[in-house]
Amino acid sequence: MTLHIPPHRPATPGAQAFLDSGAKKLLIANEWTDAAGGGTFATHDPASGALLCEIAEGTPADADAAVSAARAALSDPAWRDMKPSARGRLLWAIADLIEAHADELAELETLDQGKSWATSRFAEIPASAEQFRYYAGFANKILGQTIPTSIGYHPPGKKVFAYTTREPVGVVAAITPWNSPLLMAAMKLAPALCAGCTVVLKPAEETSLTALRLGELLIEAGLPAGVVNIVTGFGAAVGAHLTAHRDVDKVAFTGSTEVGRMIVGAAQGNLKKLTLELGGKSPAIVMPDADFALALPGVARGIFANSGQVCVAGSRAYVHRSIHDAFVDGLVKEAAKLRLGHGLDRETDLGPLVSAAQAERVAAFIDEGKADGAGVATGGERVGDAGAFYTPTVVTGARPDMRMMREEIFGPVITVTPFDEPEEALAYANDTDYGLAASVWTENLSAAHRLAAGIRSGTVWINCHSYFSPELPKGGHKESGWGYENSAQGLENYLETKTVCAVI
């Protein structure tokens, strides 16, 4: 299969102007500044390999400046004393601006990351706006409690009066990945700002553009200086420095489990609060009575959407033996329907992976599995001029000890394994160090809920996969992470509780 992708240009004047306006700078205290030393790095369109623009390569000194700005903003009356309803209106205004610039942001996201226009424009950019809307409504509903106590040793004639207040946790380092760049940033910024925190955002080096455009929109919305700072650059330089920084109170991270472990180590110095949204190896259990009309496209979308670069991607299908072969055939047909191409072409279903390096990483899993005896029912090919496309791939006969069955591939690759009894399916599903998500496909209500109860993961979908909403907590059990995003629980991560106990 050959695929020739010429360089593409965005159609919206805003996106083109953004790309043409020179090297992108860091945002520190609402000023756009060059990196200390003036270094830059390039960001590319992974579909064509074309250069998009240069970006300031932040250094530890820049991270220090951003943390100082965030620390100062925390006690700046413009932010600290902003009325809760005003903070809510600000979050709402950010959502409005994201929506007003949705075409432009979607084009930048697709060019930088590779994902299809439909995924950017109709799923992820609107979902980013929804994060700000959801938490806008919370800003004036953050409450403490008055608490009757049982303390009996107060002086005679006095009594104990106790209450709690909620306070922002402080300066947050938000470190985001490249798979859904703006959405991952929004999922951290919206609750952090709702809680009254200040933030240093470090976007993934592969995909910094929408975070930087959002920075411009945050200023336009009226966010006071220093409340959100953006330091672009590499994980080992900026990310590692922020996670070890003594003046950062909390790290909110989404990315690989490997880097998650490094952050746990780096955070020891001042015992930072951590939320970690890490990798997954999510199973899809297809029972013999599953409705194929739902399950086939649903399981296919669950792995192939965004070319499998989704933390919850359903990468291991366990299918009842009686329907296994028919299901594999059906998945192969679903894969064949997907048109590969440049994300900006409206007929494209699947764009490239984020980079040629990621496609190479995916290919290595498959090549190793094939050499070890796994079968490839379809796919397994790297295509495209820039080498970043990987064809949707269905693997059969993989063994549980193979690397492709144990590690997160982050590509459009699904393994299909037969089972005979539901208990066996459950044991397979739970045979992983990860515990992010799972789906169960059946028309049998009891079986569905029994399986949901038995799977060790943060989310279980029944007859669907990758259904998200800000109302629904999202987080990992086991080695898939610490803490939850979305919902009221997502806000808790950004709040401290202060107990005030008085004798009056």
CB of 284 or CB of 354, closer to Mg ion:
354
Which residues does 52 contact at the CB level (< 8 Å), separation at least 6? 19, 42, 43, 44, 45, 111, 112, 209
Site for ligand NAI in 7-46 (CB under 6 A): none
| CA distances for 415 relative to 28, 93, 310, 393, 426, angstroms | 45, 44, 16, 9, 16
Residue 252: name the closest of 131, 376, 139, 373 by CA.
Answer: 131
Beta-strand runs (E) in 278-332: 282-286, 314-320
- Identify what 16 binds: Mg ion, ligand NAI, none; CB under 5 to 8 Å per kind: none
What does 12-25 look like in DSSP terms, one character per residue?
Answer: SHHHHHHHHS-SB-
For the chain, the first-to-last Cα distance in angstroms comes to 80
Size of the site for Mg ion (CB under 5 A): 3
| Contacts (CB under 6 A) with ligand NAI, residues 305-334 | 311
DSSP 187-216: HHHHHHHHHT-EEEEE--TT--HHHHHHHH
Minimum CB separation of residue 41 from ligand NAI in Å reads: 12
Q: Which does 441 bind (CB under 5 to 8 A by kind): ligand NAI, Mg ion, none?
A: none
Partner from Mg ion, ligand NAI, none binding residue 62, C-beta < 5-8 Å depending on class: none
> Phi, psi at residue 285, to the nearest 5°?
-100, 120
Q: What is the β-pairing status of strands 160-168 and 495-503?
A: antiparallel
User: Which one of residues 243, 282, 393, 396 is an interface residue with ligand NAI (CB under 6 A)?
Assistant: 243
Decide: is 112 part of the binding site for Mg ion (CB under 5 A).
Answer: yes
Report the C-alpha gap between 215 and 204 in whole angstroms.
15
Among 235, 302, 343, 379, contact with ligand NAI (rule: CB under 6 A): 235
DSSP 349: S
Taking CB under 6 A as the criterion, the residue among 65, 182, 193, 259 binding ligand NAI is 259
x/- letters, 399..418, toward ligand NAI (CB under 6 A): ---------x-x--------
Please list the active-site residues: 277, 311
Select from 5, 24, 35, 43 the one that contacts Mg ion (CB under 5 A). Answer: 43
SS3 call for 318: strand
Taking CB under 6 A as the binding criterion, the range among 120-128, 129-137, 239-247, 388-396 that sits at the site for ligand NAI is: 239-247
Which parts of 193-222 interact with ligand NAI (CB under 6 A)?
A: 202, 204-205
Query: 87 contacts which partner out of Mg ion, ligand NAI, none, CB within 5 to 8 A by kind?
Result: none
- Examine residue 239 and tell whether it contacts ligand NAI (CB under 6 A): yes
Q: By C-beta, is 176 or 442 nearer to ligand NAI?
A: 176
Nearer Cβ to ligand NAI (175/429): 175
Q: By the criterion CB under 5 A, which residues form the site for Mg ion? A: 43, 112, 206
